Structure 1
Amino acid sequence: MIFAYNKEYVSDTLMVITENDKGLDQTVTRVDQVAQIKNEEGTIVGWNFFAISDVMTIDGRGQVALSDAQLDQLNELIAAAGFSERLTSDHAPKIVVGYVQSCEEHPDSDHLSVTQIDVGDEETLQIVCGAANIRKGLKVVVAKPGAMMPDGLLIWPGTLRGIDSYGMVCSAKELQLPNAPMKKGILELPQDAVVGSAFPTGKA
């Protein structure tokens, strides 16, 4: 679940993204200041909460974190608008330190690699990566499914050349880190970086 807010450049609207919309057509049902968004398969893919600053103060912009108390407030708004669904909390970080356990050549590509990456909490993700410097034994930054990158890109599971991929290995530029090198390649972290720990991006 992704919470996105940018009052200065977008509007005083909290956007909650709950599922990948898969590029399908969407329908919006709005009641008062709450809008429910479904794709054509009938899956709820998000919610919009308009004039949200009348209800709560949200710190930051872009992808933001909400407290359990704020989530309760959103669920109260949903219930008051007559919707039966509720949002559930998920405080796990989505951009984290990972350890490349294995790295094999993609069977149908001369530049892609298929990696198995430990992202902590006994979770290993298969990620297809195109960086030339990806290799076994690296500590890297992983954007897990459900992450929002600093430029607004949403990360969802996908398939690259027939191989399932569950996330993205990030470069310093993609993370918008200060003084990020312009050369291509993923960010290589020191070996004392803690696997599974949240990695800060350069967003404001």
Structure 2
Amino acid sequence: GIKPSIGHVCLYTGLKAERKDFNTGNGNIWVYPDYNYEKTLSNYLRNPDSELPLVYISFPSFKDPDWEINYPGKSTIDVIVPASYEWFKKWKDEPWRKRGDEYNALKQKFSERLLDYVYKYVPGTKGKVDYYELSTPLSTEYFNNYQHGELYGLDHTPGRFSEKWMKPRSPIENLFISGQDILFAGVASALASGGMTATEMLGVKIMKALFN
């Protein structure tokens, strides 16, 4: 069968600074330390202290046209890296915000590593981070009800496309499915899978109509 996709940790940061204070645009930053992503990912999953295989930096507040009106002098940055559910699994039965000092220390360790990436790749941020908080695969499990804290539902392997059940119409009458688990992850898939599901429900070729 298909396994769940990998988990992640996300550092949510709030800064006492405005967009003009940073030497960056509003696009996302993708940091790959090596061309051999599979190798660095494999090393990292064996040892989380090794080099991060991928760092994704995003600027939610920069993408909001009304942000500076509503929240002057402030901005937000999110930083995401892959993370194994197994690293956090031993705390899964502990209540949210009460998982203990060891868990909090692990979160702090990740937070400091990711803050270093913010300071390096987003000039002007050092000394301006007012607040930060890290989510883990346990956060995803708790808030999203994902069994293993996975980031993108089912694992994105070629084998998923040979599964006959990955389609909009479920075996349950009048229950239709859309999103990453009938296609793949990403913005393009959100659009395409929505069109596929609407086509199945309405009997009208939605995607063809959209592009005509």
Normalising by the residue count of structure 2, what TM-score does the alignment of the two structures yield?
A: 0.26
Give the structure with higher Rg (CA).
2
More helix, by proportion: 2
More strand, by proportion: 1
